[in-house]
Homo-oligomer: A and B are copies of this chain.
């Protein structure tokens, strides 16, 4: 452990990094429910390479098949100028869509991930279907769910930070907004009216942070070293699974397959709020919002 940290937040980040590796386990077969629960208890991710490769969806789905199965059904599509469907400008429509608007596709997928269903003693709360192209990006955010993410076509690139990375993520209170087409069919952003409640949104883009760009020149931020040690990067390929623990920050971008699509599903289970983990994560948030570890934002204020 590094000596004499200046403040409790820095000590927290350094202790965490001294006890946890940014290289997450890569399994070659699914864990048992008990093995899975050990990761849940630690709130630490893992990958199962090829864990879903035998799924019917991984074997059969391509553009022609998806068109055939969904023929004649209308679906919601997030259309944005830059692919940023749930960047701070609007929230993703993660609403159990596989068991609703994409129901015809669901027979090619298991109704649950058995190791997670047994370990967590409940069926998935939601199953979400994702189809996009390489422009689709999901800005850094967290969800209060235990998440099993499965890649069906193309590749997905995750940048991950644990919940205690709160000091980095620049949470801001923002009003939600939507893109609408104007009279000429151009996309324009419309904010909700000023009465609408602001919601906390993380505004940090780790891929634009000079501290995380290897050849970054200039002054380093206060926690440059802590960020670099904490940052987990994972690419999922067809048939891979990722366990993304509750409250982990994740930014997601993707690469298309040869047909130009990227497709994934994820299984959400409710997280457990009792115990001490959630209250302790709130403590970190309260401390940072109250000004602990001030100094990282100085650069931001100067610019």
The answer to whether A286 touches B11 (Cβ under 8 A) is yes
CB distance from A169 to the nearest CB of B (A): 15
Q: Which of A19, A33, A42, A276 has the most CB of B within 10 A?
A: A276
A279 touches which of B19, B33, B34 (Cβ 8 Å): B19
Interface residues on A, range: 35 or more
The answer to whether B8 touches A287 (Cβ under 8 A) is yes
- Decide: A283 near B163, CB < 8 A? Known: A16-B276, A274-B42, A278-B19: no
**Alpha-carbon distance between A275 and B17 when the two chains are bound, in angstroms:** 10
Q: Does A123 contact B (CB under 8 A)?
A: no
Among residues 265 to 303 in chain A, which have CB atoms less than 8 Å away from a CB atom of chain B? 272-284, 286-287, 290
The answer to whether A275 touches B37 (Cβ under 8 A) is no
The answer to whether B272 touches A42 (Cβ under 8 A) is yes
A118 touches which of B34, B118, B279, B281 (Cβ 8 Å): B34
The answer to whether B44 touches A41 (Cβ under 8 A) is no
If A15-B282, A19-B279, A277-B277 are given as contacts, then 4 extra A-B residue pairs at C-beta distance below 8 Å, sorted by A number, are A11-B283, A11-B286, A276-B280, A280-B280
Q: How many copies does the complex hold?
A: 2
The binding surface of chain A is classed by DSSP as helix
Q: Does A119 contact B (CB under 8 A)?
A: yes
**Alpha-carbon distance between A34 and B44 when the two chains are bound, in angstroms:** 18
A11 touches which of B20, B275, B282 (Cβ 8 Å): B282
Q: Which 4 A-B pairs have the closest CB atoms?
A: A42-B275, A41-B41, A280-B280, A8-B286
**Alpha-carbon distance between A287 and B8 when the two chains are bound, in angstroms:** 6
Measured between beta carbons, the chain B residues less than 8 angstroms from A11 are 282-283, 286
